[in-house]
Amino acid sequence: MTSKAEFEEVKKFEKDLGQCMKCGFCTFWCPVYQEERIESSVARGKNMMVRALLAGDLEYTKEYAERLNKCTLCMTCTANCPAKANIPNIIVAARADKVKAKGVAFPYNIVYRWLLPRRKLFGNVVRFASWFQGIFLPKTQGTIRHLSMFLSALGKGRYIPQIAPRFLRQMVPMVNKPTVANETGIRVGYFTGCMTDFVFPEVGKKVINFLTRHGVEVVVPREQGCCGAPVFLGAGDLATGRKMADTNVKAFADFDYVVADCATCSSAMKDYVKFLADTPERQEAYTKFAGKIKDITEFLVDVLKLPPSAYRAVPEAKGKKVTWHDPCHLNRHMGITRQPREILKSIPDIEYVEMPNADRCCGMAGSFSIYFYDVSQKIADKKMAGIDATGADIVVTDCPGCEFQLIDTTMRHDSPVKVMHIMELLE
């Protein structure tokens, strides 16, 4: 029998749990429900399952876990909820309670508990795997390979980007001094995130370049690790999440700003305080840390306050039609929608077009897309329709996770649309 003590994480969000009055409006907004059209897909159904678990009417079963995992945490339900019930809080907390009671399942326990917190080892494993992808797998298009080895769990016929031949941390020095005379006096810590580090290092180089050219000193602390999103948000492993959080808080202790180019990382790090603060010390440290985190577009527009003339397109993007995809973590989790659009509208050499449903989830959501690739693809197909409706040549975003998904989606659709990080677009 499950004891009440096992629900201690959910109980922290009792208000959200009770706030849902079952109006069912979330059915209209939930990307997963829109594909499956069954009640366990949507916030109301998931919340009712958690209530039933607490009431002793349900047990921790495989079915329970599967339904709880089938959520992208996109927050569209909450954004449109008349009662303002934050059911994603309940879902994360319920995942955590389950891990406390039952542990994490293989093979994710190896990856989450052991590999991700060990950044250097993780890098080596990724590197090791990348040799194999070159030997065994044919190149499909450019640097995009069909089913890379290291993430064969991610595979299932999916197009995923190749592991970079050299990681970002191997390419850039720890301290990057401003390259222009009019120094701003601002020194930032750059949080690279796993994807930028291992898969999209050119984005990282661009971030460092752009900032140093605008008078900012950029430090890349070597001690930083994974943000922990897949661990504490995705898998509900709060204990490991805490270790990762503490590592990052320590690595960036000396900085006023922590700049990141991945919306998921930024938002997850801001969420340390909500989900991981188990002591007053952590509460204080995580709150302080959250205040330092700036998404790159937010940093450029709101902190540096760069003039529109600062933004120019790279040569290959000149004269192209560009559209923007709002990452859920940037938009609904952090409230950042204006800044990237300001940047894009400032660029004189491109034509910016707004995408219909630009803020709709792309269906990536990390481990969600591993567990439920079929649903993830269907959600992405709707995104593709939005992109197609704009007639854009390039879709830009601010989250390597979304990029990952959009690359797979455009390739599945044989679409010529190019996927880029917003920083890659900038000269």
Partner 1 sequence: MLRPEIITQLQEIVGKPAVLTAKEDLTSYSYDGTATWAHLPDVVVLPTTAEQISRTLKLANENRIPVTPRGAGINVSGGSIPIKGGIVLCTTRMNRILEISKGNMVATVEPGVVLQDFNLALAKEGLFYPPDPQSFLGCTMGGTVAENAGGPYCVKYGVTKQYVVGLEVVLASGHIMKLGGVTVKNRTGYELMMLFTGSEGTLGVITKITVRLIPLPKASKTMMAIFDDMVAGGQAVSNILAAGVVPAKVEFVDNFVIRRIEEMTPMGLPVDANCLILLQTDGSPAAVEAEYVQIVDILKESGAREVKVAKDADEAMAYWKMRSAGFAAVFGAAKTVMAEDVAVPRDKLAEFIKKLGEISERTGFFIQYLGHAGDGNLHPAIFTDINNKEEFARAEKAMEEIFEAALSLGGVLSGEHGIGLEKKRFFSRAMDPVALELMKQIKKMVDPNNILNPGKIWEEEGA
Nearest approach, Cβ of 361 to partner 1 (angstroms)? 17
Identified binder of partner 1 from the candidate list 3, 82, 185, 281, rule CB under 8 A: 82
| Closest CB to partner 1 among residues 314, 385 | 385
Q: What does the alpha-carbon distance between residue 377 and residue 240 come to, in Å, rounded to a whole number? A: 30
Judged by CB under 8 A, does residue 385 bind partner 1?
Answer: no
How many residues bind partner 1 (CB under 8 A)? The answer is: 29
Identified binder of partner 1 from the candidate list 2, 58, 132, 144, rule CB under 8 A: 58
Judged by CB under 8 A, does residue 49 bind partner 1?
Answer: yes
At 31 the three-state DSSP class reads helix
Nearest approach, Cβ of 18 to partner 1 (angstroms)? 9
Task: Name the one range near partner 1 by CB under 8 A: 43-51, 307-315, 323-331, 373-381.
Answer: 43-51
Nearest approach, Cβ of 122 to partner 1 (angstroms)? 34
261, 211 in Cβ contact below 8 A? no
Judged by CB under 8 A, does residue 171 bind partner 1?
Answer: no
For residue 233, what are the contacts with CB-CB under 8 A and spacing of at least 6? 73, 92, 268, 271, 275, 366
Q: What does the alpha-carbon distance between residue 261 and residue 203 come to, in Å, rounded to a whole number? A: 8
The DSSP bridge pattern shows strands 321-324 and 394-397 to be parallel
Nearest approach, Cβ of 148 to partner 1 (angstroms)? 30
CA distances to 139, 167, 410 from 142, in Å:
7, 18, 14
351 bridge partner residues: 321
- Nearest residue to 68 (alpha-carbon basis) of 32, 25, 106: 32
Judged by CB under 8 A, does residue 83 bind partner 1?
Answer: yes
| Closest CB to partner 1 among residues 286, 368 | 368
Identified binder of partner 1 from the candidate list 5, 23, 110, 253, rule CB under 8 A: 23
Q: What does the alpha-carbon distance between residue 202 and residue 205 come to, in Å, rounded to a whole number? A: 5
Nearest approach, Cβ of 86 to partner 1 (angstroms)? 13
Judged by CB under 8 A, does residue 118 bind partner 1?
Answer: no
Question: Which segments within 4-65 are labelled E, that is strand?
Answer: none
Judged by CB under 8 A, does residue 318 bind partner 1?
Answer: no
At 426 the three-state DSSP class reads strand
Nearest approach, Cβ of 97 to partner 1 (angstroms)? 16
Judged by CB under 8 A, does residue 389 bind partner 1?
Answer: no
Q: What does the alpha-carbon distance between residue 404 and residue 160 come to, in Å, rounded to a whole number? A: 7
| Closest CB to partner 1 among residues 79, 314 | 79
Sole residue written with tokens 């941390």:
169
Judged by CB under 8 A, does residue 39 bind partner 1?
Answer: yes
Nearest approach, Cβ of 88 to partner 1 (angstroms)? 17
Amino acid found at 100: K
Task: Name the one range near partner 1 by CB under 8 A: 79-87, 131-139, 174-182, 381-389.
Answer: 79-87
Identified binder of partner 1 from the candidate list 5, 38, 105, 253, rule CB under 8 A: 38
Torsion angle of C-alpha atoms 375, 379, 384, 390, degrees rounded to 10: 170
Nearest approach, Cβ of 17 to partner 1 (angstroms)? 13
Identified binder of partner 1 from the candidate list 63, 223, 284, 351, rule CB under 8 A: 63
Identified binder of partner 1 from the candidate list 8, 14, 37, 153, rule CB under 8 A: 37
For residue 322, what are the contacts with CB-CB under 8 A and spacing of at least 6? 344, 347, 350, 351, 352, 353, 392, 393, 394, 395, 396, 425
Judged by CB under 8 A, does residue 89 bind partner 1?
Answer: no
399, 419 in Cβ contact below 8 A? no
Residues contributing to the site for partner 1 (CB under 8 A): 19, 21-29, 37-40, 45, 48-49, 52, 57-58, 61, 63-64, 67, 80-84
